[in-house]
Amino acid sequence: MNSLLLEARGLSKSYGSRGLRDRRTSTHAVDGVSLSLQTGTAHGLVGESGSGKSTLVRLLLALERPDRGSVRFDGIEISVLPAARLRPLRRRFQAVFQDPYASLNPHLKVGTIVAEPLAAHGISHGDGRRETVLQLLATVGLPATAAARRPDAFSGGERQRIAIARALATRPDLVVMDEPLSALDLPAQVRLIELLLRLRAERNLTLLIVAHDLAVVRSLCDTVSVMYAGRVVEEGPVEQVLGSPLHPFTAELLAAEPVADPNARPPRVATGPQTGVWPPGVCRFLPRCPLASDVCRREPDLVNSALDHRVACWHPG
């Protein structure tokens, strides 16, 4: 029933950088990642900072070119497309970023901000465009009077609604959200999740949601990929991956979730190094892994463990 909207195969991207010890190093931000998004589904991407989530998002949005691998959007290979050919496609995939204080131009009125993608893609003019902007504001639960005000008149949650209205302006098929809720407090998060669930149902939107808060993924997503050190270490339906995790890193993430219970153990604090360097060909989680054994000196591939549930670990479960 579902069709494949976005398909990434074997994406890799590395950046040259100068390390702390002034050594020239090359960091594999994303290393051999594949990902498929079906039309109308919501997929979560979780992992620590520095695990490559944001780089992967930039590759999927064709904001950067991969060193290796391909990205197909609705069957079209976009990772090699010249900018001019990419432009008309861009209206079909839009992004919402983490910080609604930084992503909205403080000098522009909200109406202008929401109309920007319409102008950029030459969609509608004059009264028609104004009408569209008001409709978009209404869709995200903001009053028409919001159009004449500037971002500083709005709270964090309202600003994120403005960013969502802007992303929806071109009627995209796919909206990618990088930590859309993490700058908001809990009541604002709850209201925004309600909005996203409604929009998803009404518009048959496909969502890719990057989050470090697992609760957000549980609330919004059907499937999830867990990233560690530039690779996907586990993926599958949310209930399976977050309900019965197979990879020790996923288990560690779940154990680190704070619980509102004074009798609960304090979140488990892992002792291994958090970022780092690993010898090539070795499982990257090895230095932190409680289950490590000799076989882990070979890097495991992502393989099916159950239907649709894949894990890259020699000792799953």
On whether the CB atoms of residues 293 and 302 are closer than 8 A, the answer is: no
Which one of the spans 85-93, 102-110, 207-215, 292-300 is the region binding another protein (CB under 8 A)?
A: 207-215
Helix residue ranges per DSSP H, 15-125: 53-60, 83-90, 110-120
Rank residues 59 and 184 by Cβ distance to another protein and give the closer one. 184
Q: List the beta bridge partners of residue 235.
A: 225, 310
d(CA 243, CA 264): 18
Q: Among residues 88, 106, 128, 267, which is the contact residue for another protein, using CB under 8 A?
A: 267
Rank residues 26 and 304 by Cβ distance to another protein and give the closer one. 26
233 CA to centre of own chain: 16
Judge residue 311's burial from the number of C-beta atoms within 10 Å of its C-beta, 0-12 exposed, 13-18 middle, 19 or more buried: buried
Rank residues 63 and 153 by Cβ distance to another protein and give the closer one. 153
1: contact with another protein by CB under 8 A: no
Q: Pairing between strand 42-46 and 231-237?
A: unpaired
Q: How far is the CB of 217 from another protein (least distance, A)?
A: 10
259: contact with another protein by CB under 8 A: yes
282: contact with another protein by CB under 8 A: no
275: contact with another protein by CB under 8 A: yes
The 48-87 contact track toward another protein, x by CB under 8 A, reads xxx-------------------------------------
Q: Which long-range contacts (CB under 8 A, 24 or more apart) does 49-56 make?
A: 49/212, 50/275, 51/227, 51/228, 51/229, 51/230, 52/227, 52/229, 52/230, 52/231, 53/178, 53/210, 53/227, 54/178, 54/210, 55/13, 55/29, 55/30, 56/8, 56/11, 56/30, 56/227
Which one of the spans 27-35, 78-86, 251-259, 302-310 is the region binding another protein (CB under 8 A)?
A: 251-259
138: contact with another protein by CB under 8 A: no
Q: Which of residues 96-115 bind another protein (CB under 8 A)?
A: none
Binding residues for another protein, total number by CB under 8 A? 48
Residues near another protein (CB under 8 A) are: 20-21, 47-50, 155-156, 182-191, 193-194, 197-198, 212-216, 218-219, 252-253, 256-270, 274-275
